[in-house]
Amino acid sequence: MLHEILIQFWPALMYGVAGAIIFSLIGMVSGTDETATMVPLTLMVIIIGAPPAAVFTFWMAGAVSKHMTHAIPTALLGIPGDTMATPMLEEADLLRKLGIPHIALKKMISSSIISAFIAVVAAVGFALVLAPFGDIITKFAPWIFLVAAILIAYFSKGKWASVLLLIPFVTFILALKAFNGQYDTSLGVTFFLAIAIGPLIADLFTVMSPSGRKAQARDKYNEVQVAPDLKLWQGYFPNPFKILNKTQIKFTAITSLISSATFVFSPVAMTVILGEFVGSRIKNTYHRLTTVLSSKNGVTESTYIAEALIPLIAFGLPLSPVAAGPAAPLFNAPPVFNVETAEVAGNNLHHLLSPMDFLFYGLLSVILAAIIAYPFSMNYARNAALFVVRKISHEAIIATFIGLILVISIWEGGLVGVFTVLGLGLLGGLLSKHFSFNTGCQFMGYYVAVLSIPAII
Amino acid sequence: MNTNMERSNDHLVEVWGDTVDFRSMLLAIVIGSVVSTGTFLLAKFFLSSLSGDTTLLNGYAMLIGLGGCLLSGFICAVMFKPARTVISSQEDNSENVKAFIVDLIKDDPNYTSVDDLPSEVKKELDLLQLMTVFQEAEVIAKKKP
């Protein structure tokens, strides 16, 4: 077992460092959705033949790092770094109005580190408890996905509307799959990317028409306020246990454990719910704002870690919103990885790595993020935020993402891929914006179409 | 700050959460599409003449294509300046902050005083020079009806 760990160790370390650096940088650019960025890059690492432990460490170090640096634009500029940062905007805004956004930032990322370590250990523990039931769960997977999709839809803002929207959405996916098949094309990643980028595509189509343009018109540049910084420690590496006070450490630990256990729920929803829980316990405004913010950012880490680790260790099936979305390639990346279906045996990270591997490389990932993303965010946050705001126009970001969806969809399916990504992106984006049928529901809807319907109909 | 002469404020729209100049965005989309797909298709063409596992070679072409995406982003970042103005906060904002805290306190029926906080939190507020601001705000909030 030790021998196995050592053989994969050096590539894993290398890819982990790469993942931490790449996603630390990406996290600082606002609006870089996790799925849209992590799926293609992880897929690339898989396709070029990196060993399983290296793939996992790349993804995990990347996810932990991204959810540290996403705090920078969120706290300092009031613009969410990515999807998981959106529930923290309100508290971040208030702390900015108090003139202390740098404190918000430091607390958020200190909590991240502590929560991430706890979550890796807790997730492996929970997964081992669930693992004996793994075979039963795999057998009933089609039904479980259907129930999970209904639950996730119900707990979204659309409630029963979202649940019912599953029907036309799943039908549409099936129609697209039939269209793909008609031209002998098989698409996977394209679907995930389309769902993740949906809001951009919907916005672009809106703004193409003169009436849409008028509705979205702005009369001045976006005013962005960047507050001054304050260094509260010596040296390069601050101690997270000194940045957070005892109450904050306590709530970080508690929320980390709870969100690790509730691995089937939307990570954004868990962030909101646990934020409310912590907020209800603290009466002073300053103390409440800082504690809620730090706990929430801790939850962004623990949900991603647990929702990837538990399905990976216990089932080998993407039975959580994170596993179905940003971590999808770890489960399903043809031709290298595939999920177990009725016809085909499964072959993905679940089958290639043992629980001890996941624990070891999971902790390695968090350590790498701690070395790379943590001190960088703590020391250079303001300069980095200013650089992004001043030098990287939103036009450039849009250009990059349009290029991304074109390259991926053409790579996977040529013109058929492009038509698929535009159609699904438009529908998904509109459903997200106007029907509260969020991307979590859409990812699960995809799996219902692909796994549940064939087994049930 | 932004001296791009062709830019006026007449064509600004909000897309995907931030402000852009509509015409610049259209051009950026064209550049992004052409440079990214061009790089990818060229890479695929040149790599296909090599022998080897096609999936792997196509994968490398995708890698190069993703590099093309970044390149197109870089080109657009150089060509199109952000439609944002950076406002640095004023130096002494304590009166505004105090007024803001007074409002916060009055809107919050469960508010407890900073004097009742644990000592380590009080030290934090001291370091941030907010302790006295909060205390004064609490006094003002109590007075006003």
What pLDDT, on the 0 to 100 scale, is given for residue A235? 60
pLDDT at A411 over 50: yes
Cα pseudo-dihedral A325, A331, A333, A339, rounded to 10? -120
Q: Based on the fold, state whether residues B16 and B75 are members of the same structural domain.
A: yes
CB contact under 8 A, B87 and A225: yes
CB contact under 8 A, B19 and A221: yes
Chains A, B: CB pairs < 8 Å: 229
Query: How much is the average pLDDT of B110-138?
Result: 83
Q: How far is B30 from chain A (nearest CA, A)?
A: 8
Q: Which of A206, A178, A162, A165 is nearest to A420 (CA)?
A: A178
Final residue belonging to a domain, choices B29, B56, B79: B79
Q: How far is B34 from chain A (nearest CA, A)?
A: 8
Q: Based on the fold, state whether residues B70 and B106 are members of the same structural domain.
A: no
Find the DSSP H helices in A70-159.
71-77, 89-97, 101-130, 134-139, 141-154
Cβ count near B73 (within 10 Å)? 28
> Is B111 part of a structural domain of the chain?
yes
Nearest Cα residue in chain A from B109: A283
Cβ-contact B29, A398 below 8 angstroms: yes
Cβ-contact A81, A32 below 8 angstroms: yes
The reported pTM is: 0.83
Q: Based on the fold, state whether residues B60 and B112 are members of the same structural domain.
A: no
Residue B20 burial by Cβ neighbours in a 10 Å radius (0-12, 13-18, 19+):
buried
CB contact under 8 A, A41 and B61: no
What pLDDT, on the 0 to 100 scale, is given for residue A29? 86
> Is B84 part of a structural domain of the chain?
no
> Is B85 part of a structural domain of the chain?
no
Beta bridge partners of A222: B84
Tokens standing for residue A233? 């420690």
The parent domain of residue B37 ranges over 9-79
pLDDT at A251 over 70: yes
Final residue belonging to a domain, choices B79, B109, B127: B79
Q: How far is A112 from chain B (nearest CA, A)?
A: 20
Q: What is the pLDDT of residues B33-81, one digit of tens each?
A: 999 999 999 998 988 888 777 777 887 888 899 899 999 999 999 999 8
ipTM above 0.85, yes or no: no
CB contact under 8 A, A284 and B113: yes
For chain B, the domain total comes to 2
pLDDT band at A70 (very low <50, low <70, confident <90, very high): very high
Q: Based on the fold, state whether residues B110 and B75 are members of the same structural domain.
A: no
Q: B56: which chain A residues are within 8 Å (Cβ-Cβ)? A: 47-49
Q: A217: which chain B residues are within 8 Å (Cβ-Cβ)? A: 12-14
What pLDDT, on the 0 to 100 scale, is given for residue B5? 41
> Is B88 part of a structural domain of the chain?
no
Beta pairing class for B84-88 and A222-226? parallel
pLDDT at B134 over 90: no
Beta bridge partners of B12: B21
Nearest Cα residue in chain B from A227: B89
CB contact under 8 A, B97 and A225: no
Find the DSSP H helices in A28-100.
34-47, 52-69, 71-77, 89-97
Q: Which of A62, A51, A105, A9 is nearest to A382 (CA)?
A: A105
Residues in chain A: 457
Q: Based on the fold, state whether residues B37 and B98 are members of the same structural domain.
A: no
> Is B115 part of a structural domain of the chain?
yes
The whole-angstrom separation of Cα B14 and Cα B23 is 13
Tokens standing for residue A114? 């502590």
Percent of chain A beyond pLDDT 70? 96
What pLDDT, on the 0 to 100 scale, is given for residue B120? 83
The whole-angstrom separation of Cα B121 and Cα B112 is 13
Q: Based on the fold, state whether residues B73 and B102 are members of the same structural domain.
A: no
A222 closest CB neighbour out of B55, B77, B84: B84
> Is B139 part of a structural domain of the chain?
yes
Integer angstrom CA distances of residue B130 from A262, A264, B120, B122: 38, 41, 14, 9
The whole-angstrom separation of Cα A38 and Cα A35 is 5
Beta bridge partners of A391: none
DSSP-based three-state secondary structure for A318: coil
Cβ-contact A255, A302 below 8 angstroms: yes
Domain locations in chain A?
A: 2-78+88-209+235-456
pLDDT band at B3 (very low <50, low <70, confident <90, very high): very low
